[in-house]
Amino acid sequence: MNHLGPKGLRGWWRSPSRHGMARLLAPFEYRHLRFFGAVRLVGGGIAIVPAVICLAYNVYGWAAFFLAVAALNLGGGYWELRLARSTSART
């Protein structure tokens, strides 16, 4: 029973049933958007802790690195949760 269609996994990966920026996500991640969005938000929150510790010790380069990681994770988590909300509203 092939649920991916006649083209198989490789063909499905090249032309997934997603639009726009959602094609950047791996199929497994796209099927579990709420979970991965929440994990990214938690990871972003955790990345803030070493950034604050680095700022306390005046290690600004590492603090900037951890703040950038936190910002990317928080932004990605927010985007995935918004995407999950918009896809569930369509169905």
Is position 36 within any domain?
Answer: yes
State whether the Cα torsion 18-21-23-28 is positive or negative: negative
pTM above 0.85, yes or no: no
Q: Is the dihedral of CA 15, 21, 27, 31 positive or negative?
A: negative
**Cβ distance 18 to 33 under 8 Å?**
no
- pLDDT for res 56: 98
Q: What is the structure's pLDDT at 16?
A: 59
Question: Is the residue at 19 inside a domain?
Answer: no
Residue 84 lies in a domain: yes
Structural domain boundaries enclosing 69? 24-90
Instruction: Please report whether residue 35 resides in a domain.
Output: yes
> Is 56 in contact with 30 (CB distance < 8 Å)?
no
Flag whether 6 is in a domain: no
Residue 70 belongs to a domain = yes
For the chain, how many structural domains are there in total?
1
What is the distance between the alpha carbons of residues 30 and 84, in angstroms, rounded to a whole number? 9
Which residues of the chain, if any, have pLDDT below 70? 1-16, 88-91
Query: Looking at the domain assignment, is residue 69 inside a domain?
Result: yes
